[in-house]
Amino acid sequence: MSTKHTIAAEKFLQNSEKVTRHDQTFWSVRVKRDAQSQELPEWEELREAASQIKKHTITHLAEYLEKFEKNATKNGAIVHWAKDADEYNEIVMDILHKHQVKKVVKSKSMLTEECHLNDHLIKHGIDVVETDLGERILQMMHLAPSHIVMPAIHITREQVGRCFEDYKISPEVGNYDPTYLTRCARYHLRDNFMTADCGMTGGNFGIAETGDIVVCTNEGNADMSTSIPKLHIVSMGLEKLIPDYKAMGVFHRLLARCGTGQSTTVYTSHFRGPRPGGEMHIILVDNGRSKILGNEEHWQTLKCMRCGACMNTCPVYRRTGGYSYTYFIPGPIGINLGMLKDPDENYHNLPACSLCCSCDNVCPAKVDLSSQIYRWRQGLDGMGHADPMKKFMSKGMQVLFESPGLYTTALKFAPIANHLPKFITEIKLNGWAQGREMPVFAKQSFHELWKKGKVKA
Amino acid sequence: MGFYTKKNMKIGLFIPCYVDALYPQVGVATYKLLKSLGLDVDYPEKQTCCGQPMGNAGFQNMADELVENYDKLFKDFDYVVAPSASCAAYVKLFHPNIVNHECKAAQKTMDVVEFLHDVLQIKSLPSKFPHKVSIHNSCHGVRELHLSSPSELNIPRFSKIKDLLQLVEGITILEPERVDECCGFGGMFSIEEPAVSVRMGTDKLNRHLATGAEYITGPDSSCLMHMQAIAKHQNYPIQFIHVVEILAAGL
């Protein structure tokens, strides 16, 4: 009874101190989020508003997309449409070729991860430099993000220091002081900003009414990436659209509070059109999103604004780490998005949920995360991915519980199990026995007590 | 509606399968308590399980007969009361989707804490329990039945469990840090992801222990069972007791 997640989780859990650190780090973000939410009396109304606005926008998506394209074009941006990852990567390459770009500086974008853009660019000889500090560290270490908002939080400062030494950007060998290391990164990144030919950003929001792209960062790296190179390419999933500035007010109040427990990100930049003498390209990417829109049971994933709050509260994510999941987005939203992307590869993550439902309550857009996980599980048998042991056990329970006669007989004999020797109950097959004692059956069940008239007022 | 207008109500007692087999004393305490409050309580003998174990494992289609059987057994009662928040929540929220029709019994099903607090609105109890207890706010009790205010939401704080326990003489009520974090049971989750499940349970236990409580109490014997299994394995000095056993103490 194991999947890729359960195996990876077991391995991660062997290092108890690391688990404690991971758990406490993300729990502290959850605590900060709670404190922020408590400061706004209208918090729950905001969440409801966000949920309704997202629902409205994605159910009128064609209308808003056209409006956005019209307004962005009016502002002087060039809008492209990409149906999938391949088309998206080609569009980016075409733009870069046309401008003879050799080096790209990038601010954080999960969409480019989704489409494997970096690999594509590097294959075509483009120098790609991530400029979000966490992303840059991971890029140097050839690692993937383990969280969508705090991608390198699992890396220690010692590891960062040694990596910087390897890349010759930390001259003081053995100095792992965070302030010092930050300064090293700053010098290193500044050099790259100065010499890049193109800046790429994601987009947290696209505002249909004005054609604005809104990018939220804490490091100002999106602004640096777009301030020096004349060429700016924005990559954005279709679902990032919102109708207008009024809606933006709702989302701006929620995003950082939920994601990092800040009242706002340090930088909230609105990009409206190219800089003088430059070009701004906006690539709107579908890559499966319009298919999700037609999925009655899972369309709500499109309301997600990628704040990461569901990961921070998830007791399983906090204790198993981002790399235990097979999809590049971990945690509750990642379990669902992974299933939508490729169920044969990502059904492995479905056990990673105790159905505690905490994610549903922290989600700023009220995505029904745990209910969706429950529903995916119901479909596993049909996909041919049901665990045979689980199916066998469920079938056994069905037979037992459908027949009250059999059930009461079983109750009568159950206490015998109390006397089974440990070598039988602790066989490897019994997942329960790993770290837990077997529960003890009562000598007489409630059924039996009732029948014998022993249940009395 | 106050309590005295409710005396003629017919109550169906639902004792979920694992309570039946492992914790019959919880069923007995529920029966005694409801009878002591003057209610007409009956226990339909053909009841077995609500179907949640199969549902959470991904086989809710194997539970459809159980759902129909549950409805048949309990539909004529005024209320169905169960000493298990998670099972009551499953009946209430999931049964109608499994069989795709109205479930009369499901609409009338309540966890015993909910029933005592919201329907009977009891204001006093004869029970005594001179001990320190740490409340285990179980996930489905909190987030599906709203027995207490979920820590994630910005709503006025309440706890129906605390309200009831406060009626017991001599009791000291405590709550752990991370007041409603999951204990890691989750039904099939506990055997499919044993490593993380045990870790969650151990973390939860340690937070309960840190309160200095002698007992961990809650509305779900399943969570208590999980933590008890770990506590026993590690020889932790703590006892477990269902909320209703405390409320019925001394009857």
Q: At what angle do helices A157-166 and A178-195 cross, to 10 degrees?
A: 40
Q: Please tell me the predicted confidence (pLDDT) of residue B4.
A: 46
pLDDT in tens, A399-422: 999 999 999 999 998 998 888 877
Q: Is B48 within 8 Å of A456 when comparing Cβ atoms?
A: no
Task: Tell me the per-residue pLDDT of A263-302, one tens digit each, with 9 for 90 and over.
Answer: 999 999 999 999 999 999 999 999 999 999 999 999 999 9
For A319, the closest of B35, B150, B199 (CB atoms) is B199
DSSP-derived letter for residue A448 is H
Specify the CATH architecture of the domain A40-289: 3-Layer(aba) Sandwich (3.40)
Q: What is the mean pLDDT of residues A239-260?
A: 98
Q: Which of A347, A369, A398 to mutate to test the interface with B (most CBs of B within 10 A)?
A: A398
Q: Give B 113-142 residues with CB within 8 A of chain A.
A: 139-140
Sheet holding A103-106, edge to edge: A78-82, A279-285, A231-237, A198-201, A103-106, A127-130
Q: B196–A411: do the CB atoms touch at under 8 Å?
A: no
Q: Where in chain B is the domain with CATH 3.40.50?
A: 4-119, 132-247
What is the distance of C-alpha A182 from the center of its chain?
Answer: 26
Residue A16 CB-density burial (10 A; 0-12 exposed, 13-18 middle, 19+ buried): exposed
pTM value is 0.96
- Looking at the partner chain, which of A38, A352, A437 has a beta carbon nearest the beta carbon of B233? A437
Residue A242 and residue A205 in contact, taking contact as beta carbons nearer than 8 Å: yes
One-character DSSP codes across A278-337: -EEEEEEE-TTHHHHHT-TTTGGGGG-----HHHHH-HHHHHH-GGGSSSSS-HHHHHHH
The answer, yes or no, to whether residue A16 has pLDDT greater than 50, is yes
Q: Which residues are bridge partners to B109 per DSSP?
A: B80
A22, A453, B121, B249 from B30: Cα distances, Å: 41, 16, 16, 11
Residues of B in contact with A451 (CB under 8 A): 45
The percent of residues above 70 in pLDDT, for chain A, comes to: 99
Instruction: For residue range B208-240, list pLDDT tens digits in order.
Output: 999 999 999 999 999 999 999 999 999 999 999
First to last CA, chain B: 25
Q: What is the pLDDT of residue A428?
A: 65
Q: With beta carbons less than 8 A apart as the criterion, state whether A212 and A206 touch.
A: yes
pLDDT of residue B1: 44
And the tokens for A45? 């109304």
d(CA A218, CA B236): 45
What does the alpha-carbon distance between residue B72 and residue A68 come to, in Å, rounded to a whole number?
56
Which chain A residue lies closest to B17 (C-alpha atoms)?
A401
Tell me what pLDDT residue A128 has. 98
Alpha carbon distance A1, B197 (integer Å): 14
Report whether A161 contacts A170 (CB < 8 A). yes
Instruction: Name residue A26's amino acid.
Output: F
Q: Do A354 and B185 touch (CB under 8 A)?
A: yes
Cβ pair B244, B30 in contact under 8 A: yes
Output the CATH code of domain B132-247. Answer: 3.40.50
* CB crowding A60-76: b at 16 or more within 10 Å, else e: ebeebbebbbebbeebe
Flag whether residue B108 sits within 8 Å of chain A, measured between CB atoms: no
- ipTM of predicted assembly, 2 dp: 0.96
| Top-confidence residue, A257 or B6 | A257
Per-residue pLDDT, averaged over A18-22, amounts to 96
**CA atoms of A317 and A23, how far apart (whole Å):** 8
Diameter of chain A measured on Cα atoms: 91
- Domain residue ranges in chain A: 4-9+302-383, 40-289, 403-451
| Contact residues for A293 (Cβ-Cβ < 8 A; gap 6+) | A58, A61, A299, A302
Listed by number, the residues of chain B in 157-216 with a beta carbon closer than 8 Å to a beta carbon of chain A are: 178, 180-182, 184-203
Q: Which residues of chain A are within 8 Å of residue B139 when distances are taken between CB atoms? A: 354-358
CATH topology of domain B4-119: Rossmann fold (3.40.50)
List, edge to edge, every strand of the sheet that includes A241-242.
Answer: A241-242, A205-207, A212-217, A267-271
Using the predicted structure, report yes or no on whether residue A307 has a pLDDT greater than 70: yes
Residues A253 and A307 sit within 8 Å (Cβ to Cβ): no
Tell me which residue of B39, B160, B1 sits closest to B88, measured CA to CA.
B160
Cβ distance A329 to A148 under 8 Å? Answer: yes
Other C-beta atoms closer than 10 Å to the C-beta of A406 total 13
In one-letter notation, the amino acid at residue B15 is I
How many CB atoms are closer than 10 A to CB A186? 12
Question: Do β-strands A267-271 and A212-217 pair in parallel, antiparallel, or remain unpaired?
Answer: antiparallel
Judge whether B83 is closer than 8 Å to chain A, CB to CB.
Answer: no
Q: How many CB atoms lie within 10 A of CB B232?
A: 15
Residue B166 exposed, middle or buried by CB count within 10 Å (0-12, 13-18, 19+): exposed
Helices (runs of H) and strands (runs of E) counted in chain B: 14, 8
* For chain A, percent of residues with pLDDT exceeding 90: 93
- State mean pLDDT over A120-125: 97
What would the pLDDT profile of A434-443 be if each residue is shown by its tens digit?
Answer: 899 999 999 9
Which residues of A fall within a CB distance of 8 Å from B207? none
B219 touches chain A (CB under 8 A): no
Beta strands in chain B (DSSP E): 10-13, 40-42, 79-82, 109-111, 132-135, 172-174, 215-218, 239-242
Which spans in B75-186 are helix H? Answer: 85-89, 95-99, 104-107, 112-114, 139-143, 160-165
Cross-chain CB nearest to B184 (options A315, A358, A401): A315
Residue position matching structure tokens 């409340």 = B135
Q: How far is CA A99 from the centre of its chain?
A: 33
Which residues on B lie below 8 Å from A456 (Cβ)?
Answer: 32
What is the identity of the amino acid at A417?
A: A
DSSP letters spanning B48-105: ---SHHHHHHT-GGGGHHHHHHHHHHHTTSSEEEES-HHHHHIIIIIHHHHHTS--HH
| Order of strands across the sheet that contains B40-42 | B40-42, B10-13, B79-82, B109-111
Q: Residues A41-51: what's their mean pLDDT? A: 98
Q: What's the token pair of residue B236? A: 């932790």
The per-residue pLDDT string of chain B (251 residues; one tens digit each, 9 = 90 and over) reads 444 456 689 999 999 999 999 999 999 999 999 999 999 999 999 999 999 999 999 999 999 999 999 999 999 999 999 999 999 999 999 999 999 889 999 999 999 999 999 999 999 999 999 999 999 999 999 999 999 999 999 999 999 999 999 999 999 999 999 999 999 999 999 999 999 999 999 999 999 999 999 999 999 999 999 999 999 999 999 999 999 999 999 88
Q: What is the pLDDT of residue A253?
A: 97
Which residue of chain B is at minimal alpha-carbon distance from A439? Answer: B229
State how far residue B130 is from chain A, nearest Cα, in angstroms: 23
Residue at token pair 């029948």: A451
Contacts of B191 in chain A (CB under 8 A): 1, 430-432
Interface test with A, best of B20, B52, B93, B94 (most A CBs within 10 A): B20
- Please give the Cα distance from A107 to A203 (Å, whole number): 10
3-class secondary-structure state, position B19: helix
Closest chain B C-alpha to A109 CA, distance in angstroms: 28
Distance CA A171, CA A164 (A): 9
Strand pairing category for A279-285 and A231-237:
parallel
Own/partner long-range contacts of A53-58 (Cβ < 8 Å, ≥24 apart): A53/A242, A53/A243, A53/A247, A53/A250, A53/A251, A54/A239, A54/A242, A54/A302, A54/A303, A54/A305, A54/A365, A55/A303, A56/A243, A57/A208, A57/A241, A57/A242, A57/A243, A57/A247, A58/A239, A58/A293, A58/A299, A58/A302, A58/A303
Instruction: Let me know if B18 is exposed, middle or buried by CB neighbors in 10 A (0-12, 13-18, 19+).
Output: middle
Q: Give the Cα separation of A413 and A262 in Å (integer).
A: 58
Judging contacts by C-beta atoms under 8 Å, the chain B residues touching residue A9 are 193, 195-196
Amino acid letter, residue B96: P
Closest CB to B198 among A400, A402, A434: A434
What's the pLDDT at A457?
A: 85
The radius of gyration of chain B's CA atoms, rounded to the nearest angstrom, is 17
Tell me, what DSSP letter sits at residue A216?
Answer: E
Facing residues of A105 across strands? A129, A199
The minimum CA-CA distance between B165 and chain A, rounded to whole Å, is 21
